[in-house]
Amino acid sequence: MDLTRFERAYFDLTDLFTEEGFNRTPNEYEKDVFVKVVDYYFEVKIITSRLEQGIIEMDSATKSFFAHLKEKDKVNESQEEKLVMAIAKIRLDLLDFYIHTRIFLDTLTECTRLSFKRAGNRNWHLMSKSVRCLLNEDKLQNYGSDIDAKFFESLRGKISWIRSLKDYRDGLLHRFFHFVFTQTLEGDLGYDIMDGVKTSWGTETVKSILQYIQSIIDNLSDLLEYLSKNLPKNQK
C-alpha cells in the first residue's frame, strides 16, 4: 500500500498547525486536538500494515485448509482455527480503519473550526465539531454564507466520499453474518456484504480490500492537501 502522498500531505498540514501554534497554545483542549491529529498518522500506518500482513496470512491459511480437505476429506481443526483467526483479524482491522478514520475526520473538522477562530472569524462558533454536519448540504451552505463561502464551496468536492465510510462500517458491524470473503477479477482478496435480495457473490461484485483502503487514503490525501493550502491563518 502506498502512503507516500498521504504522508507528504499529512506533514504539510501538521507543519501548518505547528506554525499556527496549535501545539503551544495554553488552551489544553486545543493541544489535545493537535495530539489526536498526530495519533492518526501512527494508527493508519499500523492498521494498513496489519491488513497487508493479514491478507497474506489468510491466503496461506485458505490454501492450506482446502489442500488438506481435498487430500484427507475431513477438516483439520488446527488449520480451520488458523483460517477463522485470519478472517477475524482482517475484519477487526477493517473496523479499526473505519472507526479511527472517522474519528480523524471529526478531528480535522474541529481543526478547521479552530483555525477560523484563531484567524479572528467572528462566526467560527457556528460551525459544528462533527464531520457529519459538513456532509449536510444545508449546514454546509450556512457555513459558506456565515463563515467563508469560497472555502466551504470548494471543500464540498473534497468530502463527498466520506458518506460511504459510515455505510461500510455499519455493514461490517451490524451485518456481520452477511459478510463474505472472495476473490476479485484481478485475483485480489475482496469482501462483500450480502443484502436481503442478493444470494450470490463473485468477482463482479466484490471490492479488493487493499485497493479500497488505498482509495480512501488517496481521498484523505486530497482533503489534507486542500486544508493545508486553504485554511485561514492566525492573525498575529
Look at 108 and 27; give whichever has higher pLDDT: 108
Single-letter amino acid, residue 217: I
Look at 178 and 216; give whichever has higher pLDDT: 216
User: 85-101: per-residue pLDDT in tens?
Assistant: 888 898 899 889 999 99
Q: How far apart are CA 135 and CA 159, in angstroms?
A: 7
Q: Which three cell numbers stand for residue 82?
A: 488458523
Q: How far apart are CA 6 and CA 197, in angstroms?
A: 38
pTM score of the predicted model: 0.85
- Cβ(131)–Cβ(109) below 8 Å: yes
Q: Name the phi and psi angles at 93, rounded to 5.
A: -65, -40
Q: Please give the average per-residue pLDDT across 103-117, as a whole number.
A: 94
21: buried, middle or exposed (CB in 10 Å: 19+, 13-18, 0-12)?
A: middle
What are the CA-CA distances from residue 166 to residues 69, 134, 224 (Å)? 38, 14, 20
Q: How far apart are CA 129 and CA 6, in angstroms?
A: 23
User: 43-75: per-residue pLDDT in tens?
Assistant: 999 999 999 999 888 888 877 877 777 777 676
pLDDT band at 177 (very low <50, low <70, confident <90, very high): low
pLDDT > 90 fraction of the chain, expressed in percent and rounded = 47
Highest mean pLDDT among 29-33, 121-125, 192-196: 121-125
User: 217-236: per-residue pLDDT in tens?
Assistant: 999 999 999 999 999 987 65
pLDDT > 70 fraction of the chain, expressed in percent and rounded = 83
Position 174 scores a pLDDT of 67
